[in-house]
Amino acid sequence: MYKIIRTILFSFNPEWVHYFSMNGLKFLCKLPFGKTLLKAAFKPSGDSLQTNCIGINFPNPVGLGAGFDKNARYLNELEALGFGFVEIGTVTPLAQAGNDKPRLFRLPKDKALINRMGFNNDGVEVIKERLRKWNQRVAKTSDNISNQRLIVGGNIGKNKITPNEDAWRDYVICFNALHEYVDYFVVNVSSPNTPGLRELQEKESLRKILTELQTQNNQFKPQKPILLKIAPDLSLEQIDDVISLAMEIKLDGLVAANTTIDRKQLTTSESLLAKIGAGGLSGRPLLQKSTEIVEYIHQKTNGQLPIIASGGIFTGADAQEKIAAGASLVQVWTGFVYEGPYIVTKICRHLNEN
């Protein structure tokens, strides 16, 4: 059924369809018993998939990666679809429009997307207020007990106009503003769509950002886990630097990996790729590469550094592959677009049976 719907949706602009679909889901959730019926239809079966990672009890290990619900507008609806956790953002201190449109493109032959969104978001204060209201609603809902409620991560970044030497200040602003309202943080220095951002993946730049955040974190009770999201385009030497720093400063974990700028092995025509231009590639082409990175990190750290795996996950078998490689949790994004709203249910069913 979804394949028919997808064919129709794919005939429209990807970014417009994204908001059209999510607003449609929001409308359904507002109907009498709407969310209750959706949760019953999409609820992952069984309690055996509850996962404790980074000191948090996740209802299940399947999450939605950052960039899908940038502004924390759809947490209620995504919870209804069965996600164990949702990462909002990337959030920046100031609201910004992002890059010029069009900036999101489908590659159906490769089951992939290219985006150059550019951290478009409503700014940390607006998003903070949405999260405050979300938390108030959760607190009043009796069925959201501690091991069942949707876990929310905050993916934070810097504004485009902020020079790299001052980037740490942007991360601190977002961290302090959102600390009360999210369950964990992910530091995003690996998006290819903000000029110069990936330069912050160098060891000393990372050290400045992460240690500043840890200093801030020490002033809060309770403290929140801090993870780092890395690019799949890092060399092994660069990954070693990340691992070394993470172990040294006792970072809570890594997210592996972000979108790639690599276009090798795509079946999409070179002429179409040239027309699309720059941007981060996500989806099926990243499956093997991201799994290799997860496995490498897991082996190098003897499993001591928790990993959230992201990249090319479409099926339960894909998720199981990531977990077997050493991941504790998995995130979907492009797979959600191609596979549809039952993706969490299907992945959880596979994991339960295997």
Closest CA to 228 of 185, 192, 197, 290: 185
What is the length of the chain? 354
* Tally of CB atoms within 10 A around 2: 13
| In the chain, domain spans | 2-95+118-256+283-353
187, 226 Cβ separation under 8 angstroms: yes
Banded model confidence at residue 46, pLDDT cuts 50, 70, 90: low
* Tally of CB atoms within 10 A around 352: 15
224, 206 Cβ separation under 8 angstroms: no
Task: Kindly report whether the global pTM for this prediction surpasses the value 0.85.
Answer: yes
The larger pLDDT score, comparing residue 148 to residue 270, is at 270
- The CATH class that applies to domain 2-95+118-256+283-353 reads alpha beta
**Which residues are annotated as catalytic?**
191
| Mean pLDDT calculated for residue range 71-81 | 97
CA atoms of 230 and 168, how far apart (whole Å): 17
- pLDDT tens by residue, 114-143: 999 999 999 999 999 999 999 999 988 755
| Mean pLDDT calculated for residue range 144-159 | 83
Report pLDDT for 142: 55
Banded model confidence at residue 1, pLDDT cuts 50, 70, 90: confident
